[in-house]
Structure 1
Amino acid sequence: MRHYLLRDDQWECIEELLPGKASDRGVTALDNRKFVEAVLWIARTGAPWRDLPDFYGHWHRVYVRYSRWSHKGVWLTIMEELSKEADFEQLMIDGSIVRVHQHGAAKKKSKDAEAMGKSRGGLTTKIHAAVDALGNPVRLLLTLGQASEYDQAEALLDGFTPSQVLADKGYDSDAFVESIQSVGAEAVIPSRKNRLEPRPLDRHVYKDRNLVERFFQKLKQFRRIATRYERLAKNYQSMLSLVSAVIWLA
């Protein structure tokens, strides 16, 4: 079978991270690669599940399996395993908004729980990302679209011990700078205009922050990421995790 979305070397890196190995209990999966390719096709094209080419199998069975793996945390595990090779010389953080498609809108009472917020442009979700010194993702969080990026700053940093943390001036606060310094890292964050005593800024190092912006550009080349179609935050997070894994393997 010919594969279009994963090279052989990429597949070899994640093959042993998936359920259905010969060493696992239960039925051995012989079509894991075709299944992952199917989900990537959906992520890349942004097409409805019903439009999945017959080559990949019946769309509903593929979707049910994708959703089941989402609830088991399989997709997140793939990204977390790959990110163990992260270069923590630097950690860059930022946030980006995506619009929720009308077909992906959750019920009114559950929109907050599914990370869908109402703004001028309609329903939106905000992706908060932390990337390493090479621009590879190490953590992704979802909130309502109108949520402050600063509110997720410490959660993005939690458990990591980078040498430097780079962020834009929206993250400038004494509390966050202190939390960065508490893990032995240097805060490379521009001071707000209203700060009475601006902190010194290494502008040469700060230029590296563009890596997190470039990560979002790579992420949004996948149409199913650039526009949110998944009603469930867990399923959208899983799509983010899979695409992030592909970025790691590029």
Structure 2
Amino acid sequence: MTDAQWSLLEGLVSQPVRSGRSSSWNRRLLVDGIRWRVRTGSPWRDMPSVYGSWSAAYALFRRWQTQRRLQRLVIALQALADVGGRIMWGVSVDIAAINEWL
């Protein structure tokens, strides 16, 4: 992911500072690892080590999934794209398919 993409995403995926042991993996690397895994469909264990630990990326993905953070992230990114005029809300209808259905 580019620096510009990360600067946009960083504010959406930041977490409050918590006490305890800090993560040994950079959040950006883990997010890139999650993106790689979702894009390729490969098993988590096949995630390249350049993205950090596959188990840390998986744990982050599952935590965000159960907290519905991924859903909120997609909605926030769609809203930003809509405000920026990067989403076209046109509808395409296949008349032949509708006629067959009727």
TM-score by length of 1: 0.32
> Is 2:37–2:47's contact at 8 Å kept on the other side of the alignment?
yes
Task: Considering fraction of residues, name the structure with more helix.
Answer: 2
- The alignment-based identity, stated in percent, is 25
CA distance in 2 between counterparts of 1:54 and 1:25 reads 26
Task: Considering fraction of residues, name the structure with more strand.
Answer: 1
Q: Deviations over 1:21-51 (max 9, x none)?
A: xxx2425767110110111121233221111
Return the index of the structure with the highest Cα Rg: 1
Within 5 Å, which residues of 2 pair with 1:222-233? Answer: none
With a CA cutoff of 8 Å and minimum separation of 6, indicate the structure with the bigger relative contact order.
1
Where do 4+ consecutive residues of structure 1 move more than 6 Å? none
CA distance in 1 between counterparts of 2:74 and 2:66 reads 15
1:116 alignment counterpart? none
Q: Deviations over 1:143-200 (max 9, x none)?
A: xxxxxxxxxxxxxxxxxxx7xx52324xxxxxxxxxxxxxxxxxxxx48437xxxxxx
CA distance in 1 between counterparts of 2:3 and 2:17 reads 26
1:26 alignment counterpart? 18
- RMSD of the TM alignment (CA)? 2.8
2:2 alignment counterpart? 7
Structure 1 residues 51, 82: CA separation in 2 closer, same or farther (over 3 Å shift)?
same
Identify unmatched segments of 5+ residues in structure 1. 1-5, 90-131, 134-161, 170-189, 195-250
1:50 is aligned, of 5, 21, 45, to: 45
Structure 1 residues 9, 47: CA separation in 2 closer, same or farther (over 3 Å shift)?
same
2:91 alignment counterpart? 166
CA distance in 2 between counterparts of 1:193 and 1:34 reads 50
1:60 alignment counterpart? 55
Structure 1 residues 65, 193: CA separation in 2 closer, same or farther (over 3 Å shift)?
closer
CA distance in 2 between counterparts of 1:32 and 1:60 reads 13
